[in-house]
């Protein structure tokens, strides 16, 4: 396809002739004028108020000329860009080009969620207007990010280069209003892991070996009862209760509760959930997942992959999309059963962006490979699972008492797997208990006072980080992945593989920057989410026409000006007082050597005494040296 390809055809449904062309993302960019563009041309603080130019970069000149030529002879411009904020602003950019050469041209907007025939026809026949409020939110965000990024990056880079120029080796130490809070989450968890000190606890372990109903060969099943108190950090109290149990060790069944239970099918799929689940289950980065989903959307295989909606409208046609999956050799039989009467309406979540439905397959694609196959299979299985019934089971809970101390055990019999048949990512299996009757008594096979330790929190995975960013309003569902990718590319954070899990570890430069800004004593530190969260909320208010673009910009810039003044005043003090606070001399080295063993390993609880009478072994524990930090 040439860079200026155009497709001309008649469209009888609207009695119109169309010429379809394209752009590749934004066709304008913001920059400072030449007087402020060079790093030493001005005081970085002046960038908060410096003039900003909107221009067409050279790479789009041919595309812009093509649009101008077509606009001169057209009556209407119909925008078909992605139906989100960015797409709305790209549409606005195109409209500006067209109106410059043809003031009378009408501007209309096609709205759709999937590149499939019925939605394309519906959008073409029912055009709407551009949402200029969404476009305003994007230009405000671009303007703010340009000013903040340039001002803070120049300030911190020049300060560091003046002091540590040779050690930095020309490295750009950039600032971004989203990337710094994102980095802050990684550093915060790393510090929690580094500072963790395990705390010893004790608990009573009770178990009974009894022939099971289904083992068939005389093998005994062991039923483990959990202590109602969980565990205690006070050894003397735990020992006192254990000795009380030993005085009258006969257990009495106090209650047998049998009830039906369910494992709920998954909610409809949002962008954030796709990134979280995908990075955890598919071993792909959030950016890889979103890029792959976008490529599948462009080919009409998936619906639009950037959506906050986790509920389907009542008019959604599930049947046509389920039917398309019946030809699959892997899940076609399951899809057929849904069409034949096993369909159950998906659960309704709490979010609806009123723009796009949850992510779902729009076509069957049996010839995919690699990452495309993994993402498509997950989305499709998730969709079919959401259209199935909850898994059903039968749960038995036994409560026993031993001289006043209560213990319980639970068993499960899975009766109907339902959605689990097509969704192997969820696990739910039977583990039955032997029969118990209320009032019966038995002598436990094992009754021990056991010792365990609290386990350290794990370093952040990408799925964890996506959750934190979403919860704290850092970025949007469509930009979260890019912000994570940025801090990795800038080497503020490194990826470390432990077993099958990839963890995020801050570099010494990343740790130093976060520590430095935290030491300044800002009420709202740049490494914390508060400032950016307020900005994201303001952008939503612009979209909802509660606040104007100019008001939002003025409020945000004034906030960051105050932060900048204090940060610059204290920045040199940090360098002068404690060169190690930024650890610039190790900027490109990770803290990997310190991370060995920091990944979360479950510490198996060890019996402090394998036999009932061995109480002296417990008393021999040097409990006075134990430390007890806060447990996450």
Residues 376 and 503 in one domain: no
CA Rg, the chain, in Å?
31
The residue-averaged pLDDT of 429-434 equals 92
Residues 162 and 243 in one domain: no
pTM: 0.84
Among the three residues 386, 405, 424, which one is the final residue of a domain in this structure? 386
Q: Would the pLDDT of 607 be above 70? A: no
Q: Would the pLDDT of 593 be above 60? A: no
The residue-averaged pLDDT of 448-477 equals 93
User: How confident is residue 595, by pLDDT bands cut at 50, 70 and 90?
Assistant: low
Among the three residues 93, 113, 130, which one is the final residue of a domain in this structure? 130
Q: Would the pLDDT of 228 be above 70? A: yes
User: Is residue 273 one of the residues assigned to a domain?
Assistant: no
Residues facing residue 446 across a β-bridge? 207
Q: Would the pLDDT of 577 be above 50? A: no
| pLDDT tens digits, 471-517 | 998 988 888 999 999 999 999 999 998 888 899 999 988 898 888 88
Per the annotation, the verdict on 304 as an active-site residue is: yes
User: Which position among 89, 92, 175, 304 bears the catalytic label?
Assistant: 304
User: Is residue 1 one of the residues assigned to a domain?
Assistant: no
Question: At 42, which CATH number?
Answer: 3.40.50.140
Residues 115 and 171 in one domain: no
Question: At 349, which CATH number?
Answer: 1.10.290.10
| pLDDT tens digits, 608-630 | 333 333 332 232 233 322 233 33
| pLDDT tens digits, 32-44 | 999 999 988 999 9
Cβ-contact 268, 358 below 8 angstroms: yes
Task: Tell me how far apart the alpha carbons of residues 479 and 483 are, in angstroms, rounded to a whole number.
Answer: 6
User: How confident is residue 167, by pLDDT bands cut at 50, 70 and 90?
Assistant: low
User: How confident is residue 594, by pLDDT bands cut at 50, 70 and 90?
Assistant: low
Cβ-contact 504, 493 below 8 angstroms: yes
Residues 570 and 527 in one domain: yes
The residue-averaged pLDDT of 532-560 equals 93
User: Is residue 375 one of the residues assigned to a domain?
Assistant: yes
Residue 547's domain spans which residues? Answer: 138-196+458-595
Residue 127 confidence (pLDDT): 95
Q: Which of 341-355, 524-538, 573-587 has the lowest mean pLDDT?
A: 573-587
Instruction: Give the C-alpha distances (Å, rounded to integers) separating 545 from 54, 131, 298, 314, 356.
Output: 23, 10, 31, 28, 20
Residues 502 and 564 in one domain: yes
Residue 130 confidence (pLDDT): 96
Residues 210 and 101 in one domain: no
List CB contacts of 275: < 8 A, sequence separation 6 or more: 286, 289, 290, 462, 463, 466, 480, 481
User: Is residue 282 one of the residues assigned to a domain?
Assistant: no
User: Is residue 573 one of the residues assigned to a domain?
Assistant: yes
Structure tokens at 275: 């990134």
Task: Tell me how far apart the alpha carbons of residues 376 and 370 are, in angstroms, rounded to a whole number.
Answer: 10
Residues 11 and 118 in one domain: yes
Q: Which of 12-21, 255-264, 524-533 has the lowest mean pLDDT?
A: 524-533
Residue 487 confidence (pLDDT): 94
Residue 162 confidence (pLDDT): 72
Residues 497 and 570 in one domain: yes
Residues facing residue 128 across a β-bridge? 109
Q: Ranked by mean pLDDT, which of 154-168, 322-336, 485-499 comes out on top?
A: 322-336
Q: Would the pLDDT of 438 be above 90? A: yes
Average pLDDT, the chain: 87
Nearest of 231, 224, 276, 417 to residue 334 by alpha carbon = 417
Instruction: Give the C-alpha distances (Å, rounded to integers) separating 558 from 536, 551, 563.
Output: 16, 11, 9
* Residue 56, φ and ψ in degrees, nearest 5: -90, 120
The residue-averaged pLDDT of 186-192 equals 96
Residues 84 and 223 in one domain: no
Q: Which of 158-167, 267-276, 279-288 has the lowest mean pLDDT?
A: 158-167
Nearest of 541, 511, 516 to residue 526 by alpha carbon = 516
Share of the chain above pLDDT 70, in %: 87
Residues 258 and 397 in one domain: yes
Task: Tell me how far apart the alpha carbons of residues 93 and 222 are, in angstroms, rounded to a whole number.
Answer: 69
Q: If DSSP codes are grouped into helix, strand and coil, which group holds residue 529?
A: coil
Domain count, the chain: 4
Q: Would the pLDDT of 373 be above 70? A: yes
Residue 544 confidence (pLDDT): 93
| pLDDT tens digits, 550-572 | 999 999 999 999 999 988 888 76
Residue 557 confidence (pLDDT): 95
Task: Tell me how far apart the alpha carbons of residues 54 and 537 are, in angstroms, rounded to a whole number.
Answer: 25
Cβ-contact 112, 122 below 8 angstroms: yes
Q: Would the pLDDT of 72 be above 80? A: yes
Residues 428 and 361 in one domain: no
Among the three residues 386, 401, 424, which one is the final residue of a domain in this structure? 386
Nearest of 344, 348, 320 to residue 119 by alpha carbon = 320
Segment (H or E) for 480: helix 480-489
User: How confident is residue 221, by pLDDT bands cut at 50, 70 and 90?
Assistant: confident
C-alpha angle with apex 422: 419 to 428, nearest 5 degrees?
Answer: 60
User: Is residue 81 one of the residues assigned to a domain?
Assistant: yes
Question: At 574, which CATH number?
Answer: 1.10.460.10
User: Is residue 543 one of the residues assigned to a domain?
Assistant: yes
The residue-averaged pLDDT of 305-319 equals 92
User: Is residue 555 one of the residues assigned to a domain?
Assistant: yes
Question: At 415, which CATH number?
Answer: 2.70.20.10
Residue 446 confidence (pLDDT): 96
Residues 241 and 93 in one domain: no
């Amino acid at each position: 396809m040439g860079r200026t390809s155009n497709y001309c055809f008649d469209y009888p449904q609207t009695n119109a002739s169309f010429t379809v062309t394209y752009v590749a993302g934004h066709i304008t960019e913001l920059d400072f004028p030449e007087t402020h563009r060079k790093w030493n041309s001005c005081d970085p603080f002046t960038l908060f108020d410096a003039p900003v130019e909107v221009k067409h970069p050279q790479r789009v000149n041919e595309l812009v000329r093509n649009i101008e030529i077509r606009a001169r002879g057209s009556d209407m411009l119909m925008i078909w860009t992605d139906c989100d904020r960015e797409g709305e602003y790209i549409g606005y950019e195109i409209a500006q080009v067209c109106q410059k050469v043809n003031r009378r041209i009408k501007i209309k907007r096609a709205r759709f969620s999937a590149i499939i025939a019925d939605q394309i026809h519906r959008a073409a026949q029912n055009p709407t207007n551009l949402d200029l409020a969404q476009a305003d939110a994007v230009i405000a965000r671009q303007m703010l990010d340009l000013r903040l990024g340039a001002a803070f990056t120049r300030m911190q880079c020049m300060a560091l280069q003046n002091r540590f120029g040779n050690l930095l080796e020309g490295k750009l130490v950039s600032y971004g209003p989203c990337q710094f809070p994102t980095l802050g989450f990684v550093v915060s968890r790393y510090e929690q892991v580094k500072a963790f000190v395990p705390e010893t606890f004790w608990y009573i372990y009770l178990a009974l070996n009894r022939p099971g109903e289904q083992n068939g060969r005389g093998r005994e099943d062991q039923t483990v009862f959990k202590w109602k108190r969980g565990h205690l950090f006070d050894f003397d109290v735990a020992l006192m209760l254990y000795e009380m149990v030993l005085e009258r060790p006969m257990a009495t069944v106090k209650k047998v509760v049998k009830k039906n239970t369910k494992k709920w099918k998954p909610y409809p799929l949002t962008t954030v959930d796709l990134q979280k689940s995908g990075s955890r289950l598919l071993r792909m980065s959030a950016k890889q997942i979103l890029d792959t989903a976008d490529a599948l959307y462009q080919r009409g295989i998936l619906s639009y992959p950037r959506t906050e909606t986790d509920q389907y409208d009542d008019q959604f046609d599930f049947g046509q999309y389920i039917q398309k999956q019946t030809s699959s050799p892997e899940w076609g039989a399951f899809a057929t059963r849904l069409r034949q009467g096993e369909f159950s309406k998906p659960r309704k979540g709490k979010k609806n962006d009123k723009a796009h439905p949850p992510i779902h397959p729009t076509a069957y694609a049996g010839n995919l490979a690699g990452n495309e196959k993994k993402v498509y299979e997950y989305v499709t299985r998730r969709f079919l699972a959401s259209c199935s019934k909850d898994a059903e089971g039968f749960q038995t809970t036994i409560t026993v008492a031993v001289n006043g101390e209560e213990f319980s055990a639970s068993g499960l019999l899975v009766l109907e797997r339902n959605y689990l048949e097509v969704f192997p990512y969820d696990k739910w299996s039977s583990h039955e208990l032997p029969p118990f009757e209320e009032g019966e008594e038995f002598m436990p096979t094992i009754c021990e006072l056991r010792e365990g330790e609290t386990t350290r929190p794990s370093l952040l995975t990408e799925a964890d980080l996506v959750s934190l960013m979403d919860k704290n309003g850092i970025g949007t569902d469509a930009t979260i992945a890019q912000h994570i990718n940025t801090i990795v590319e800038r080497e503020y954070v490194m990826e470390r593989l432990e077993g099958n899990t990839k963890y995020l570890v801050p570099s010494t430069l990343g740790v130093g920057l976060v520590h430095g800004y935290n030491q300044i004593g800002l009420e709202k530190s740049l490494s914390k989410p508060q400032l950016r969260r307020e900005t994201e909320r303001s952008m939503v208010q612009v979209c909802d026409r509660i606040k104007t673009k100019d008001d939002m910009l003025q409020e945000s810039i004034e906030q960051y000006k105050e932060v900048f003044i204090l940060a610059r005043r204290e920045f040199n003090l940090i360098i002068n007082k404690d060169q190690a606070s930024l650890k610039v001399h190790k900027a490109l080295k990770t803290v990997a050597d310190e991370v060995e063993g920091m990944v979360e390993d479950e510490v198996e609880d060890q019996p402090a005494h394998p036999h009932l009478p061995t109480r002296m072994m417990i008393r021999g524990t040097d409990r006075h040296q134990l430390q007890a930090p806060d447990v996450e």
